[in-house]
Each structure stands twice: as C-alpha cells, then as structure tokens.
C-alpha cells in the first residue's frame, strides 16, 4: 500500500523494532498473525458501531505489521514460500473483515440495505479478483494485467474514506457521505478489474493453446 519512497522510510524506521522482536524470540509468522488479528478486531469491533475514525486508526496501526514481519524475515534470512503463503492468505482475511465491518454497520444501525449489499459485493469481488490471478498463474499463465482497482487501491480508498467519514461524530458536517461514495467506487472498480483479468486469462489461454498446437504440429512433421 505504500509507494517505494514511503516504504523505504518506514522500513528504516521499523528495522530497530524488528531487530528487537527477533532478540525477544518473536517469529515473523507471529507478527503476521498478530497484525491480522488487530486489523480484524479493529474492523469488527469499531465499524459495526459506526466508530469509523477510531476503527481506521486501529487498523492502520496494525497494517504496519506487514512491513515488520517482512523486515524480520529479511534480517533472519528466512524468506520462504510458507511465509508468502501465510501473508497472502491472512491479507484476504483482513480484507474480508474490513468490508464485513462496513456491511454489519449498514445492516444494523446504519440502516441501508443497498450500501450493505455494496459492501458485501466489495468483499466478494475483492476475493474473486485475487483468486483469478492466483488461479491463472497456477495453470501457467502470466495474467499480465494491472487492474483498475487492485488490493492496495481498494484498501486506501476505503480506509481513507472511512477515517474521514468518522469525523462526522466530531462535528464535521456532511463528511459521512465519503464512505458510501468510496464503496460505490471500489465496487465499480473491482468489477472492471475482474473483467480485465478474466479477459486477459482468456486471451493468454488461447495464445498458449495455439502455441502448443503449433509446436505439436511442427514436431509431427
């Protein structure tokens, strides 16, 4: 979620903390699990009650665990397939909790079935967008497309909007509409991204099959 300059800055800042955790015997996987638990708690405790500002603050603090665990793994020389798998899997859990928290608010005291449905669509489409790339790569396709709204964009748009929308409780008028607008943007962008990836996989699959058929024909001659 951070651009390369911000990531480099926070990496330098968090390196001593990562080294401290290593000395204390904490593993990168533990940090990943704690970070995900913090995001899930922030989303499912605060958001369903309409506490969008404080929920976003808590989530943002735990999001930095993604930098800490990676830093620890590099210091330990333990970058592994398991670590990458765990990190990616728990990212999906965190994403689901965030949009699930929005859905619970609109299904309850937010009292807006349409926005509840939009939140659920954002949750589901985000998971499917990630799945299409993983599944395409698992069958040997590059899935070479940068979607309109991928995970970083989904989270930045939603969390920034939620944080500002939460300022309504501090007396800032009209700002609560930022979150509904953001959810519609994320929903539309996720749909476009899903279509982009499906079309890309279809094209790459056809190209791969044509190349395989041509190669088989050449071998037969």
State how far the Cα of 183 lies from the Cα of 189, in Å rounded to an integer.
10
| CA–CA distance, 15 with 4 (Å, rounded to integer) | 16
32: annotated binding-site residue? Answer: yes
Question: Alpha-carbon distance 184 to 161, whole Å?
Answer: 12
Which DSSP helix (H) or strand (E) runs through 107? helix 81-107
Note whether 87 and 73 are within 8 A (CB). no
Is 31 labelled as part of a ligand binding site? Answer: yes
203 is in an annotated binding site: no
| Distance from C-alpha of 67 to C-alpha of 155, rounded to nearest angstrom | 16
Q: Does the annotation list 111 as a binding residue?
A: no
Residue 70, annotated as binding a ligand: yes
The answer to whether 69 is a known ligand-binding residue is yes
Tell me how far CA of residue 50 lies from CA of 94, 162, 170, 184, in angstroms. 18, 10, 13, 18
Length of the chain: 221
74 a known binding residue? Answer: yes
Q: Identify whether 112 is a catalytic site residue.
A: no
Check the annotation: does 112 bind a ligand: no
Catalytic residue among 91, 95, 111, 112: 91
Annotated binding-site residue numbers for Mg(2+): 66, 69, 87, 91
Annotated binding-site residue numbers: 29-32, 66, 69-70, 74, 80, 87, 91
Annotated binding-site residue numbers for a CDP-1,2-diacyl-sn-glycerol: 29-32, 70, 74, 80
Residues annotated as catalytic are 91
């Amino acid at each position: 979620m951070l651009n390369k300059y911000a990531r480099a800055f926070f990496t330098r800042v968090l390196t001593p903390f990562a080294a401290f955790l290593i000395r204390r015997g904490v593993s990168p996987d533990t940090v990943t699990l704690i970070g995900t638990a913090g995001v899930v708690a922030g989303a499912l405790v605060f958001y369903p009650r309409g506490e969008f500002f404080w929920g976003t603050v808590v989530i943002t603090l735990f999001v930095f665990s993604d930098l800490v665990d990676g830093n620890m793994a590099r210091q330990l020389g333990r970058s592994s397939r398991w670590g990458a798998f765990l990190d990616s899997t728990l990212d999906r859990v965190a994403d689901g909790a965030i949009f699930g928290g929005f859905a619970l608010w609109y299904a309850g005291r937010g009292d807006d079935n349409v926005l509840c449905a939009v939140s659920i669509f954002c949750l589901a489409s985000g998971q499917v967008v990630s799945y299409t790339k993983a599944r395409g790569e698992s069958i040997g396709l590059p899935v070479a497309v940068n979607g309109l709204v991928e995970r970083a964009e989904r989270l930045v748009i939603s969390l920034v909007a939620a944080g500002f929308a939460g300022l309504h409780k501090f007396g800032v008028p009209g700002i609560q509409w930022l979150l509904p607008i953001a959810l519609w943007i994320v929903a539309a962008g996720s749909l476009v991204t899903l279509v982009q990836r499906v079309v890309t996989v279809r094209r790459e699959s056809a190209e791969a099959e044509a190349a395989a058929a041509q190669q088989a024909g050449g071998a037969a001659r």
